[in-house]
Structure 1
Amino acid sequence: MGYPEKRGTYWRGRYKLADGKYGTVSDETGVVIKFATKREAKQAADAEEVSVRRGERRDPSLGQETFGEYAGRWYAVQDLAASTMQNYRRHIEEHLLPTFADKALSGVLRSDVERWEKAEKAVYAASSVKTWRSTLHLIFEDAIDEGLITSNPAARRRGRGKRAGRSRDRGPEKVVTDPFGALLIAERAALLSGRDDEFVAVILKAYTGMRWGEIVGLETEFARPGTVRVEWQLYELDSGELVRVPPKDDSYRTIDTPEWLSALVADHVARTKPTPCPCHGKAYVFRGQGAARAGGHHGAKLVDVARRASVSTGTVSNVLNHPERVREETRVRVELAIAELGFVRNAAPSHEAAHWRRNGFATWLFQPAATGWYPKKAPQEPRPVPLLGAPWPGVPARGRGASQRADACWLPIAKGLTPHGLRHSHRTLMEDLGTEKVLMDARMGHLDGSVSARYAHVTPGMRQRLLASLTDQWETALAARLALSPTSPVRALNDLLRVRAGAP
């Protein structure tokens, strides 16, 4: 604790700042306070030392480097996975620097951190703010190790603040679905993309619990009869680059797959005949959706012509396809823009997109499949997926006037479900089936550090029971889908329904 020190005719209070270093009680201007009695000096010194321990006082000789300067140095020496480095950079640049950049390290108080956190929670989800505060805490901890500050203002104090129980900072409950819901979502996703890749990928994810990056990064050599080997994943950086990295937390594992699932994946590979991608030189089970030109988009597009001619893209389309519908003056202006830009109609892409993009898949394929609605995208508001009702469950109407031509729409299956929610769904399904925890952890790539886990091991019997149960769930879901309609516009599912119905 603090102590009084006799100085001629007065007493002054001394308190501990760090090991071997002490401060003197002073006023706001830095002038030492002279106390008349020993008791007053002792009380003031004790109060100052308590403030230091709480992170409310700083040694003025330390931490004069600004937070922005130190955060830049701190980030530069980190040597972590590309995904972690990307996340740290986003946390620092977007959420920490706007508030703390110009503050000295020693000038950041606990109250500053609390005010920042409260302001962030007014805009962002509490779970996200918690992650950003953890990064802030880590930076200050390293500053303490370097001797720049003596305490961490971002450290949480136990037993303080609101008494809100477990409901405080509680996020929304994760949405999951059952095998039948996963089957219907997989069918819709394939209808939206116009191919079978999405059907096979969603089913594989729902019955293995693989992470999104592991599905995208699944190479053909690791899709084996009876198993899927998780050896790599593709992680998408903010720049758009997909990097080939080990699975999260080094969760290398071999996942058993039922016979029907292995056959579904094998048939898909045999039909699509994957070739090595230009970015990694590896053959992947699944391709990206849509088309891409080599090296990026080259040459003028329809929208560029429309902007140059100050008309809509629909007017440009009419000039190309129905010039008689366009006024002569407008037609001449559009044709001049086409000539100036060197626009080539129906320029063929040099290759299909090699890989899915997380946002594109989740926003324009998975979410509409799960909810039946397209999300908001300016200038359009959220809207139902326009469908032509036959054949069941409906085929998405495309092109201009799709909403006017549509005669049906989809009902929601699992509103709020995300691609990662299928991983939660798989774990929940295994719990429902009574699967042993050791097998669930091995399948999900989770590490149980408890003592009891050291004495639990996966056995062939456990694996066979789980595969049999997953097959029963699949057969039940397929039978329920067959009861709705004996056919499907999705080729892969249509073949499965025909076999289930006993058709040749």
Structure 2
Amino acid sequence: MPYVEVRGGNIRVKWWGGEYHLDAEGRATRRKRYESASGPEPGTPFEDEDEAYNYGLDREHEVRHGKHIPRASAKTLMRDYCQLWLAAQDLRDTSISRYRSRLRARIVPYWGDRAVGDITTWEYEAWKKGLQAAVDQGEMSRHYFEQLTGLFGILMTDAVVKYKLRMESPVIRQRRRGRFTKKQREVKRPMQMEVLHALATNAYHVWGFTGWTYLWTLGFTGMRPPGEMWGLRREFASPNWPASDPDAERREHALDRYGPDLMPAIRVQYQSQYERGKRTQVSPKYDSHRTLVIPPFLHEMHTALLASHDSPWVFPALGGNQMSTQWGKTYWPYIRGGSPERAARRDHIRQAIPPVPEMVGKRIYLLRHGHREWLEEDGHPRIAMETRMGHEVAGVEGLYSNLTPAMERRIADSLQARWEAFWRMGVWWHPPVSHYSPI
């Protein structure tokens, strides 16, 4: 039972918090650890002894029903909690780095000196409204806003469910409450072959035949850029795979279905990422290892590309090494946005590169979206599309469906037909015949 102490004008109540004192070796003794409070809220004293006693009864009720949050735990500062929470996450280095960046940038500076158990819904809503104002003023992207609020929600949910630092989360999600705000989505246009051709042409002038092949590969396979594209090694490219697959069991099964003389295919086995500051090969996102059949024209393009260099990577950087983060600074901006005439290496004058208006300021990831649009336009089954994109179909549909060779053959045929129809439309530029001719 709780007991009340009256000292001068102060009223304090003590109750057993369900824990015992520890001895020097860290073992629990029979001596109970009591908690106390001088008011229902910090800075608010009890009005009388009855209020204090009832407050103690409520706390002991929480202890008996497993809902008690020790006051010391609830007073954990957010800066300490964020550090402990991040250390406990079992994620890839890239995900940890993104979380750490968001915590340092916006969450710890604002909440760091607040106790986890003291954060209220009012305070959270005020913080969220400030972030929204930054979005409205163009100081923050909508995507980053959603990342921050989503991460804060995870922190508070874990504080309640996993770490027992508070009774409930201050993040309350209600539907259709308050002023309606339509969700802002990225403006996308259907991917046209003319646009992809313009990007590939610019990529050739920036990056050579590797760039030309890179853009067509992305548009006709839907691989995830940049990780899966940069992580593609030559032993997993269609001219060599599956005969060159280092895994004997996978190679044996694949040889009956794929190959240059059967169905040319790319094996998405890795993606390239930085871990602890070093570039390394890891599993694709969601462990979505998969085989992508490709149309004949793309197989011929890859054959010419691999014959033009001896790099272990299908798409090496200009210097021959694996592509790094320089892509976003020295490649893609000029491919989509163009570049004036300027001097290049060895006093060579690089001709002016025209911008591609439909892609100026856009992400290259939209080409992956465009590939999915093409598959839908051509009427392929959902299981074939989702498997190709590296997604899983949930429920009974995913359990009973399967990607068959006939489905894959139709995908390759429809993509080849799209390619041939484009070249029949007119005379389009293509790299010198010494490299490759699409005709």
Structure 2: tracts of 5 or more residues without a match:
1-10, 20-34, 59-68, 239-259
Map of 1:231 onto structure 2: 269
Matched, 1:206 2:219: yes
Residues 96 and 408 (structure 1 numbering): CA distance in 2 closer, same or farther, change over 3 Å? closer
CA–CA distance in 2 between the matches of 1:111 and 1:73? 25
**Alignment coverage as a number of residue pairs:** 370
1:150, distance to aligned residue in structure 2 (A): 1.5
Residues 260 and 493 (structure 1 numbering): CA distance in 2 closer, same or farther, change over 3 Å? farther
Q: Structure 1 residues 440-449 or 75-84, which shifts more?
A: 75-84
Q: Report if aligned partners of 1:220, 1:284 keep a CA contact under 8 Å in 2.
A: yes
SS in structure 2 of the partner of residue 254 of structure 1: strand
Residues 230 and 491 (structure 1 numbering): CA distance in 2 closer, same or farther, change over 3 Å? same
Map of 2:334 onto structure 1: 368
SS in structure 1 of the partner of residue 217 of structure 2: helix
CA–CA distance in 1 between the matches of 2:413 and 2:71? 68
**Residue from 86, 94, 101 that aligns with 1:75:** 86
Map of 1:146 onto structure 2: 163
Identity of aligned residues (%): 22
- Structure 2 counterparts to residues 13-32 of structure 1, below 5 A: 26=40, 29-32=43-46
The one-character-per-residue Cα deviations of 1:211-257 (angstroms, maximum 9, x if unpaired) are 11111000111112300001101014694x32211000000000111
Letter in 1 for 2:321: A
1:35, distance to aligned residue in structure 2 (A): 10
1:420, distance to aligned residue in structure 2 (A): 0.9
The one-character-per-residue Cα deviations of 1:300-325 (angstroms, maximum 9, x if unpaired) are xxxxxxxxxxxxxxxxxxxxxxxxxx
1:61, distance to aligned residue in structure 2 (A): 4.9
Larger RCO, structures 1/2 (Cα 8 Å, 6+ apart): 1
- Structure 2 counterparts to residues 54-453 of structure 1, below 5 A: 61-121=72-132, 122=134, 123-144=139-160, 145-153=162-170, 155-159=171-175, 161-164=177-180, 167-168=182-183, 170-193=184-207, 195-212=208-225, 213-224=227-238, 225=260, 226-236=264-274, 239=277, 241-274=278-311, 283-289=312-318, 352=319, 354-358=321-325, 360-372=326-338, 385-386=339-340, 396-398=341-343, 409-410=354-355, 412-453=357-398
1:432, distance to aligned residue in structure 2 (A): 1.1
Q: Report if aligned partners of 2:265, 2:292 keep a CA contact under 8 Å in 1.
A: yes
Q: Report if aligned partners of 1:176, 1:421 keep a CA contact under 8 Å in 2.
A: no
CA–CA distance in 2 between the matches of 1:427 and 1:78? 33
CA–CA distance in 2 between the matches of 1:405 and 1:222? 33
Letter in 1 for 2:105: E
The one-character-per-residue Cα deviations of 1:402-435 (angstroms, maximum 9, x if unpaired) are 9x99788445243343221111010011111111
1:59, distance to aligned residue in structure 2 (A): 7.6
The one-character-per-residue Cα deviations of 1:5-46 (angstroms, maximum 9, x if unpaired) are xxxxxxx9x9xxx9999999747633113499x9xx99xx99
1:259, distance to aligned residue in structure 2 (A): 1.4
Letter in 1 for 2:304: D
The one-character-per-residue Cα deviations of 1:107-137 (angstroms, maximum 9, x if unpaired) are 2222222222222231322222222222222
The one-character-per-residue Cα deviations of 1:304-356 (angstroms, maximum 9, x if unpaired) are xxxxxxxxxxxxxxxxxxxxxxxxxxxxxxxxxxxxxxxxxxxxxxxx35122
Residues 199 and 450 (structure 1 numbering): CA distance in 2 closer, same or farther, change over 3 Å? same
Q: Report if aligned partners of 1:182, 1:202 keep a CA contact under 8 Å in 2.
A: yes
SS in structure 2 of the partner of residue 491 of structure 1: coil
CA–CA distance in 2 between the matches of 1:130 and 1:446? 23
The one-character-per-residue Cα deviations of 1:152-204 (angstroms, maximum 9, x if unpaired) are 12x33313643416x14x232345522232122111111123x1111111111
Letter in 1 for 2:268: V
Letter in 1 for 2:203: A
The one-character-per-residue Cα deviations of 1:242-299 (angstroms, maximum 9, x if unpaired) are 221100000000011111111111211012122xxxxxxxx2111113xxxxxxxxxx
Residues 407 and 245 (structure 1 numbering): CA distance in 2 closer, same or farther, change over 3 Å? closer
Residues 178 and 19 (structure 1 numbering): CA distance in 2 closer, same or farther, change over 3 Å? farther
CA–CA distance in 2 between the matches of 1:417 and 1:493? 32
TM-score, length of structure 1 as denominator length: 0.65
Map of 2:251 onto structure 1: none
1:99, distance to aligned residue in structure 2 (A): 0.7
Residues 243 and 174 (structure 1 numbering): CA distance in 2 closer, same or farther, change over 3 Å? farther
Residues 250 and 22 (structure 1 numbering): CA distance in 2 closer, same or farther, change over 3 Å? farther
TM-score, length of structure 2 as denominator length: 0.73
RMSD: 3.8
Residues 218 and 286 (structure 1 numbering): CA distance in 2 closer, same or farther, change over 3 Å? same
CA–CA distance in 2 between the matches of 1:187 and 1:465? 28
Q: Report if aligned partners of 2:301, 2:436 keep a CA contact under 8 Å in 1.
A: no
Matched, 1:491 2:436: no
Letter in 2 for 1:150: M
Letter in 1 for 2:205: L
CA–CA distance in 1 between the matches of 2:214 and 2:147? 30
